[in-house]
């Protein structure tokens, strides 16, 4: 193959490849999969060689300035996978490659490492997909251990994904007790040259077992035999930056390309996974709980705790009983701080983040107001910034406000608030007031009683997955309760509660999928959001509507364009955000239409346009 002209792609939202001439000095060292240093758009940049050609339609070509790798950092298998990833998520091939590679290799860092040529080949056997429906942690882990053992005996590698970094260390200890094999814990992105050495060791086969969080799905394991995705429906897996990948889907792409086995583990699988399990006849393993806690419903229509309280009378009685019997109770209340709304009692002005369109949360312990989206903080104003009124009223209570109420009612209680910033749980605490952060340690956390104070807030979110997420929450909290799960609600007939009582998963998914089908939602249809953001709200709103109209005028059969509207958080980090959502039964058809339309669409104002394939 002639290497006179290299075809190079870049980690930018532009299609390529672009032609570059290769000097005779580099023709020995350059190869498909090499990183090169070139001039692109009048600036020097790192690019990735994806092919060579003999001739170019362009008379004058920029030359390759330098070849950065002694041997290619990207294998042929990496390039095949990157093309699949690019096609599935609608990003450019260059963006896909930069997602796969560690951050340190996206810069002009030389790699003098030469990869061994005698590494074992990828297994040729067809991989299978298994759904491990686990309500029994011990039995499920034994099952996974048997799977891992078989893979290691076959001289293959294992990749285990966890939704939160906090879980990696303890999981690694469990694995190390069973297997005498090197384990690498992938907890943070590879950004330094020291990290590069680790990445190269992984690529060379030093670690047969990798345990990590979301980004470890791209671990460069050449002879991959098994991918385990723990708690596969956890929202923490969703990547909120472009490309918006979900490791659950990426695992299936790797399974298709590398013929490895994939096992999804969950106490309450996502509706999408359950649907695929039924459609593609995946292997299904169910591990029932040893004991199921009793479910007690408290109808807030009959026991209204009042405006200043979230504790109904039956729950107050239960807390007293727990304390009298020296037991432990968890009060689940998914709101941080003291209050999440502070407004002027005179003019109604709300204290919002200066950079985002969200109310600031008042954290009493720090005497500060915080933005839950961007981290902005400020002091609590003494007077109204708008009318200079003297009284600012706090409402929509958080766990700190609840703590003060529990302290007032039960001065003998040893109370602890557990949230994402306060996780050092003391053993002597008998009343734990927790946000969703408690779910990170759900396997190791048990209490005699668990109470959900505001279930209705969980199920009434503006998210078509809210029913699934609410049911999953109830299942996890039920597994944390030794004796009883108490649910305060006004939605006594809600299907999530109805099927929780008997843990009737089949009935729940039948109802959930029926609702999704009627509303033409995933998994029956593919939805992609075109996100438009910029600093001028009026121009961004206008551009969003222009794009919506353009797409409708040039609509393709099998594609539906929904309304143009402001994002749920219409302003984030000084950027106004609008979305145009499209729907189709076929992802390839939908993404092809979107990409070709965006190429032809002429923007009249400056804006950043990205795709979200997990809206």
**In the prediction, which pLDDT does 309 show?**
76
Confidence of residue 190 (pLDDT cuts 50, 70, 90): confident
Question: In the predicted model, what is the mean pLDDT of residues 261-277?
Answer: 98
Task: Name 352's Cβ contacts closer than 8 Å, sequence gap at least 6.
Answer: 358, 359, 360
Q: How far is CA 289 from the centre of its chain?
A: 27
Question: In the predicted model, what is the mean pLDDT of residues 156-169?
Answer: 95
**In the prediction, which pLDDT does 488 show?**
96
Confidence of residue 255 (pLDDT cuts 50, 70, 90): very high
DSSP 8-state secondary structure symbol assigned to residue 181:
S
Nearest to 266 by CA among 469, 527, 487, 483: 469
Q: Element (H or E) spanning 67, and its range?
A: strand 66-67
Nearest 10 degrees: Cα torsion 586, 591, 596, 598: 130
Decide: helix, strand or coil at residue 5: strand
**In the prediction, which pLDDT does 121 show?**
55
The residue whose two tokens read 């939602």 is 521
**In the prediction, which pLDDT does 34 show?**
96
**In the prediction, which pLDDT does 69 show?**
94
**In the prediction, which pLDDT does 306 show?**
58
Query: What's the mean pLDDT when you consider all of the chain?
Result: 93
Q: Element (H or E) spanning 142, and its range?
A: helix 137-153
Q: Cα–Cα distance between 328 and 91 in angstroms, integer?
A: 49
State pLDDT tens for residues 288-303: 999 899 999 999 988 7
Q: Give yes or no for residue 359 having a pLDDT over 80.
A: yes
Helical residues (DSSP H) of 154-188, grouped into ranges: 168-178
**In the prediction, which pLDDT does 116 show?**
67
Question: In the predicted model, what is the mean pLDDT of residues 192-200?
Answer: 88
**In the prediction, which pLDDT does 125 show?**
61
User: How many angstroms separate the Cα of 191 from the Cα of each of 68, 203, 318?
Assistant: 17, 16, 51
State pLDDT tens for residues 556-602: 999 999 989 999 999 999 999 999 999 999 999 999 999 999 999 98
Range with lowest mean pLDDT among 120-129, 264-273, 375-384, 560-569: 120-129
Q: Is 240 exposed, middle or buried (0-12, 13-18, 19+ CB in 10 A)?
A: exposed
**In the prediction, which pLDDT does 245 show?**
95
Q: Are 294 and 485 in contact (CB under 8 A)?
A: yes
Q: How far is CA 400 from the centre of its chain?
A: 27
Q: Are strands 183-186 and 329-332 parallel, antiparallel or unpaired?
A: unpaired
DSSP state letters, 231-286: TTT-GGG---SSS---HHHHHHHHHHHH--EEEEEESS--HHHHHHHHHTT-EEEE
Q: Give yes or no for residue 18 having a pLDDT over 80.
A: yes
User: How many angstroms separate the Cα of 599 from the Cα of each of 15, 121, 549, 595, 596?
Assistant: 10, 40, 15, 6, 5
Q: Give yes or no for residue 122 having a pLDDT over 90.
A: no
Q: Cα–Cα distance between 483 and 165 in angstroms, integer?
A: 30
Range with lowest mean pLDDT among 153-167, 192-206, 325-339: 192-206
Q: Cα–Cα distance between 388 and 117 in angstroms, integer?
A: 73
Q: Give yes or no for residue 119 having a pLDDT over 70.
A: no
Q: Give yes or no for residue 115 having a pLDDT over 90.
A: no
Q: Cα–Cα distance between 333 and 404 in angstroms, integer?
A: 14
Q: Cα–Cα distance between 164 and 487 in angstroms, integer?
A: 26
Question: In the predicted model, what is the mean pLDDT of residues 166-174?
Answer: 94
Q: List, in order of start, the domains of the chain with CATH numbers.
A: 5-106 (3.40.1440.60), 129-287 (3.40.50.300), 294-336+398-517 (3.40.50.300), 526-612 (3.30.70.600)
Decide: helix, strand or coil at residue 36: strand
Confidence of residue 520 (pLDDT cuts 50, 70, 90): very high
| Tokens standing for residue 533 | 């953001």
Question: Which one of 106-110, 443-447, 465-469 scores highest in mean pLDDT?
Answer: 465-469
Q: Cα–Cα distance between 77 and 100 in angstroms, integer?
A: 12
**Which pTM value belongs to this model?**
0.94
């Amino acid at each position: 193959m002639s290497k006179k002209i290299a075809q190079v792609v870049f980690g930018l939202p532009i299609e390529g490849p672009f032609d570059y001439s290769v000097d005779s000095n580099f023709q020995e060292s350059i190869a498909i999969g090499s990183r090169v240093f070139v001039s692109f758009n009048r600036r020097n940049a790192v690019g990735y060689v994806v092919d060579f050609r003999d001739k170019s339609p362009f008379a004058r070509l920029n030359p390759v300035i330098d070849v950065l790798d002694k041997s290619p950092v990207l294998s042929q298998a990496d390039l095949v996978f990157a093309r699949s990833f690019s096609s599935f998520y609608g990003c450019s091939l260059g963006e896909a490659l930069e997602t796969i590679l560690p951050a340190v290799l996206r810069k002009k860092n030389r790699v003098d490492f030469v990869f061994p040529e005698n590494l074992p080949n990828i297994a040729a056997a067809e991989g299978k997909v298994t759904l491990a429906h686990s309500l029994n942690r011990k039995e499920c882990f034994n099952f996974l251990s048997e799977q891992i053992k078989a893979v290691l005996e076959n001289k293959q590698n294992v990749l285990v994904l966890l939704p939160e970094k906090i879980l990696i260390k303890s999981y690694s200890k469990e694995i190390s007790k069973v297997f005498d094999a090197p384990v690498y814990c992938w907890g943070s992105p590879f950004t330094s040259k020291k990290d590069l050495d680790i990445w190269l060791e992984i690529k060379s086969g030093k670690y047969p077992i990798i345990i990590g969080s979301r980004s470890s799905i791209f671990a460069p394991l050449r002879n991959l035999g098994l991918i385990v995705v723990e708690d596969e429906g956890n929202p923490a897996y969703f990547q909120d930056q472009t490309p918006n990948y979900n490791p659950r889907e990426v695992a299936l792409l790797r399974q298709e390309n590398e013929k490895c086995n994939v096992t999804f583990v969950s106490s309450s699988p996502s509706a999408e996974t359950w649907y695929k399990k039924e459609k593609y006849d995946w292997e299904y393993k169910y591990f029932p709980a040893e004991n199921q806690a009793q479910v007690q419903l408290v109808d807030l229509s009959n026991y209204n705790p009042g405006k200043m309280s979230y504790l109904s009378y039956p729950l107050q009685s239960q807390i007293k009983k727990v304390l009298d019997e020296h037991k432990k109770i968890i009060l689940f209340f998914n709101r941080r701080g003291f209050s999440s709304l502070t407004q002027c009692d005179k003019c109604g002005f709300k204290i919002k983040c200066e950079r985002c369109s969200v109310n600031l949360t008042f954290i009493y312990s720090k005497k500060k107001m915080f933005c839950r989206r961007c981290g902005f903080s400020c002091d609590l104003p003494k007077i109204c910034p708008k009318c200079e009124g003297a009284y600012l009223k706090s409402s929509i209570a958080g766990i700190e406000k609840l703590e003060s109420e529990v302290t007032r009612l039960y001065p003998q209680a040893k109370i602890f608030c557990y949230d994402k910033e306060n996780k050092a749980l003391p053993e002597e605490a008998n009343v734990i007031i927790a946000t969703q952060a408690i779910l990170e340690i759900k396997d190791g956390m048990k209490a005699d009683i668990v109470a959900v104070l505001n279930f209705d807030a969980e199920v009434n979110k503006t998210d078509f997955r809210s029913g699934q997420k609410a049911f999953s929450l109830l299942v996890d909290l039920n597994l944390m309760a030794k004796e009883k799960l108490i649910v305060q609600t006004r939605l006594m007939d809600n299907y999530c509660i109805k099927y929780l009582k008997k843990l009737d998963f089949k009935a729940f998914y039948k109802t959930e999928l029926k609702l999704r089908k009627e509303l033409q939602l995933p998994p029956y249809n593919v939805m992609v959001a075109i996100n438009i953001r910029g600093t001028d709200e009026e121009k961004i709103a206008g551009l969003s509507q222009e794009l919506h109209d353009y797409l409708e005028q040039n609509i393709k059969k099998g594609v539906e364009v929904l309304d143009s509207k402001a994002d749920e958080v219409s302003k984030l980090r000084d950027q106004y955000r609008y979305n145009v959502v499209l729907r189709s039964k076929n992802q390839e058809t939908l993404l092809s239409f979107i990409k070709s339309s965006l190429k032809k669409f002429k923007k009249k104002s400056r804006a950043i346009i990205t795709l979200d394939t997990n809206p």
